[in-house]
Structure 1
Amino acid sequence: MIIPLFRLSQSPDTVTLQITAKYIKLKDLELIVEGEEIFFYCKPYHLKLHLPGSLDSEILNSKYDVDSGLLTFEMRKTTPGENFKNLDLITRLLAPVEEKKKTDKILILDDEHNVLWEDTPETSFEYGFAMKGLYDFHRVIDEYGDIIKVDPRKIDIEERFKLMRLEECQKFNADHYIADFVEEESLIQELVDLESPWSSKSKSSLEFDDSEIEILKNLSNKNYNLSEEQRKYCYYSLIDILFAYCYDSRTTSFEGNSESGWTILEISASLRWLIGFKDAKSTLLSAYRRSLIYPLYRNFNLCNKILSDLKTILALGVKGIVKCFLEIYNIFLSGDECRYILNDIFIKDYLVYMAKWSEEEWNNVVKEVSDIVIDKKDLNMSLYEIERDFLTKVLQVNELDSDDEVENEEEITKDLEKIFTEKLVLVEKELELQKNPTSTK
């Protein structure tokens, strides 16, 4: 049976259900409303919904548009004025599917039904959404080793973090960082000055289009039983992934490109290294570091702007975040690499769970993120020292060579000299402040 495309909306006293079902026979149609349950059937479509509030069994109004195949049903709320929360997050309204129990054993058989491999609860490991893990990771790592850096069956979370930091130290390119530090007044500034499309949005203005609803309706409505530690992993990895998405969005002028999947994967330690975070500060420090090591544009002020974009999206609430994760889902699905596996390990579960989580807990995470300010010294990458050494050297060389400049070049050099001198003063103040924390800037 096919789950049809559907939408729910409400007024203070009614709920309206719209279902797109083309080429049906109306004589076969059944719609039953029983309290919080709605049952719809019309071959080949079938829909069962569990609403957050009760409805009267009587259908107030119904109509069918033959050309569009749109069925509309209006129903009265049992309690007039009651607000049904998150009706547009439709996955949570579908009939729930129970998660596979940890006691289940999975067998992989050949064509003659001989056991090639079996998995038991003792061989499950922490990784993926909320560090819940999967039973068949042997197939994931064999086929997608170029996407995921580590095998969680062999390397625990603490060791993954150590290996990741070691690679980051090896990959950091001071020359690339300085090049983007110099370009800060031109190319980088253009990226920073771009207006985010999210800045003009509000919670009430966000709507899901048909393509987004198509994804949401086809997800399995799982029931999650997460420990406190697993919920922390869930929340902070979401921040990590969303920061990576914001970086890609801004650096592609909010249009995306063929490298978007790679960029998001490299910046997010949760995706690339199966790392888990337990607080917002360490999550954002990781995202900043990786943004200064791997992608095309490596600039600290750009990272600050991306953090601002992240905070803007978080302020839009769950629906805004879901829309971003739907875009991430499509990016991973459509890429020329095998990154679609990340949808199965992370993104699908996030799309389902976001409509179910504790709003109070999540709001605490949002507040935590909103209060965070990152300084270069927090990254432990010696950025101030690198900048000081470069600026000191280039200004010394410029002073020695100034007599050989032609007039136009001299004007340009003087402009740059002024900019670099100002930067050097700020850098030296920051370094002095690190030596004497009690002094004022």
Structure 2
Amino acid sequence: MITPAFELSQDPDFLTIIIKIPYAKASEFDVYFEGEDFKFYAKPYFLRLTLPGRIVEDGREKASYNTDKGIFTIQIPKEIPGQYFEGLDMLTSLLAPKKLRSAKPLVEEIAASAQLSEEEEEEEEFDWEIEQTPYEETAESTLQQQYCYGFGNLHSGVFERLQDELSDVIDIKDPDRVPVNERRRKRLAAEAAKFDPDHYLADFFEDEAIQHVLKYRPWWVDAHKKKMALQEENHQEPDRQTFVVFSEEEREQLRKFKNKSYLLDKRTRHHVYLSLIDILLAYCYEICVNEGDKNVESSWNVRKLSATLCWLESFTSIHDVLVSFGRRVLCYPLYRHFTLVTRAIDDTVTILQLGKGAVLKCLLEIHKIFRENDPSYILNDLFITDYCIWIQKIKSKKLAVLAESLKKATLTKSHTGLELEELEAAAVLVQEEESKLKDAGTVSKQQLPSSESETSDSEESSSTSSSETEGSDSDERESSTSEDGKINPLQGTLQEERAAPLIDCNGLRQDTNTSMFEVSDEKSKVSLQSTSVPGKLIEELEKQMHTAIRLSEQAEGLATASCVVSQQQENCASEPDSFSKDAIGKGNFLEVSSKKNPLLFLCSTNEDED
């Protein structure tokens, strides 16, 4: 809380208290007085006095408030008429609380504590004793060193003591000590730090909500169409104010404003016009994104997007205004899309073309938004109220020229200095790469079933070939049945890899280990022992192998068998096959087994050749 500047005076019947509360929200204030106590509150000011005499509330009290000077005056009757109050100029003593509180003693008597009055207990629960510091007037020489701001740079020293209370209204700290160039430098640095590329790209690619709000048509669109249609029919400039209708509430607010005259030099008027564009741009954005409905964020949107209101900026050109507004739209609000910037510019041009009636209506709506929001009401005192009064006295031709200048001005993404085009190009490249990878994954998934089917077909053909081979083998075994109709089945297990000698393609023996084949029938077992393989037998085996391969190709229709055998013949030197033979029944048969592709060949031979 801020202790305001105050002074007291008296006459025989009344005590007069004058309180200076500039830029306070005077529509909401509280006054309490009884006996020697006086309390006053008007945000952000609080004053509590302990008077040297008693006052009373009997209906004769009076109060008034001067909005221009920010002075609150109250006259309170004395309880005893004619009594003289001493020490009214001792302001520090008047601010002191009535009862100084001290720490409770460490040792307390029970009897004494039991005698506490109810009044003291109530004071313990509700404490009004807020620490206050007397206000000190600032010297005129110090005021001249402060920097100005507000409408026409007519204000200064406002935030010197209100900075803590109004820190949410403006972003710049201690504006009374910061020159215009320094404000701009700090603003640009804050915007660069606030800019979020992810948020911008999200709104750039997923803009359904933004496209929806862009379809909203505010009231000035229809008013402008009516104006243009009437102008084409009459071939003359119609009265612009006839297309704007003020509500009763707006008319009442206009009656409350006090008439003022503003003596502005040429440079200051230039700043005022540019700041007006900046404020209208922020207002048009707010109306567009909320589709004409106001909410709790409306005040934040308007003041945050306007560097005039948020940073107390003073612009020198229309281009600077557009760049500032574009940067802030892309850094702060919920929807950060460049199309919203261009839409707000077009709406502002339309409002200015409609004339000062349309501009005044928009300013009255802004005034209402700030009036209903704490602590944004301070911006009405600094800017909006003066704009509402000033705009009624300017010529419409001035606004028409301003609208034409704004219409000719251009703003591109590169002007914002946020590298928007580079971000968009990089994001598009990333999106294209993701699309390609996604398409490649889809194609591979589509090809996967066909390859699986081919694999299954191959497996089926292999199984068919295997079954046919087994069938062929069984048929040949049945044909080898003895004359008396008895079959000689194999009883033992072939031990090829452990006992069979390895023979290369040239018929040379690579191992001399003994091979044992155990063959049994129902009556006897025949045991054959071989330590060598004659060359003649190898030649016959080679002929039989080629014959069996040709038969297998014709019977099964498999081309793979030939390739496998050819490969085995080419690599026989490095990985020779293992052969084993066995005698079954009365006829002599030879069984050849390959390590890679086992093939069974049944060859009939003579007993003398064995």
Q: Which residue of 2 aligns with 1:209?
A: 247
Q: Describe the SS at the equivalent of 1:222.
A: coil
Identify the match of residue 363 of structure 2 among 325, 334, 337: 325
Unaligned runs of 5+ in 1: 1-96, 101-108, 407-441
| 1:381 matched to 2:418 | yes
Q: Which structure's CA Rg is the greater one?
A: 2
Q: Describe the SS at the equivalent of 1:221.
A: coil
What's the TM-score, normalizing by structure 1? 0.64
Q: Measured at CA, do residues 134 and 153 of structure 1 come closer, stay the same or move farther in structure 2, by a change above 3 Å?
A: closer
Q: How do 1:334-345 residues align onto structure 2 when only pairs under 5 Å count?
A: 334-335=372-373, 337-345=374-382
1:154-198 Cα distance to aligned partner (Å, 9 max, x none): 1100000000000000000000000000023x2211122222221
Query: Any conservation in 2 of the 1:119–1:136 contact (CA below 8 Å)?
Result: no
Query: Any conservation in 2 of the 1:265–1:272 contact (CA below 8 Å)?
Result: yes
1:99-135 Cα distance to aligned partner (Å, 9 max, x none): 88xxxxxxxx957697622352514422111222235
1:290-349 Cα distance to aligned partner (Å, 9 max, x none): 0011000000112111211111111110010111111111111112x3001100010000
In 2, distance between residues paired with 1:360 and 1:128? 25
| 1:193 matched to 2:215 | yes
Identify the match of residue 314 of structure 1 among 335, 343, 352: 352
Q: Which residue of 2 aligns with 1:393?
A: 430
Q: Which residue of 1 aligns with 2:165?
A: 143
Letter in 2 for 1:229: R
Q: Describe the SS at the equivalent of 1:116.
A: coil
Query: Any conservation in 2 of the 1:99–1:222 contact (CA below 8 Å)?
Result: no
Q: Which residue of 2 aligns with 1:10?
A: none
1:269 Cα deviation after fit: 0.4
Query: Any conservation in 1 of the 2:352–2:358 contact (CA below 8 Å)?
Result: yes
Q: How do 1:20-419 residues align onto structure 2 when only pairs under 5 Å count?
A: 110=91, 116-120=136-140, 121-150=143-172, 151-184=174-207, 186-201=208-223, 202=227, 203=240, 204-335=242-373, 337-405=374-442
1:404 Cα deviation after fit: 3.8
In 2, distance between residues paired with 1:189 and 1:255? 17
Query: Any conservation in 1 of the 2:156–2:176 contact (CA below 8 Å)?
Result: no
Q: Measured at CA, do residues 338 and 300 of structure 1 come closer, stay the same or move farther in structure 2, by a change above 3 Å?
A: same
Query: Any conservation in 1 of the 2:353–2:400 contact (CA below 8 Å)?
Result: no
Q: Which residue of 2 aligns with 1:412?
A: none
In 2, distance between residues paired with 1:219 and 1:262? 24
Letter in 1 for 2:316: K
Percent of pairs with identical residues: 33
Letter in 2 for 1:384: E
In 2, distance between residues paired with 1:115 and 1:258? 34
Q: Which has the higher contact order (CA 8 A, sep 6+)?
A: 1
Unaligned runs of 5+ in 2: 1-65, 70-89, 96-133, 228-239, 444-610
In 2, distance between residues paired with 1:188 and 1:275? 29
Query: Any conservation in 1 of the 2:307–2:313 contact (CA below 8 Å)?
Result: yes
Query: Any conservation in 1 of the 2:352–2:402 contact (CA below 8 Å)?
Result: no
Query: Any conservation in 2 of the 1:191–1:302 contact (CA below 8 Å)?
Result: no
In 2, distance between residues paired with 1:287 and 1:238? 12
1:199 Cα deviation after fit: 0.6
In 2, distance between residues paired with 1:348 and 1:379? 31
In 2, distance between residues paired with 1:209 and 1:265? 24
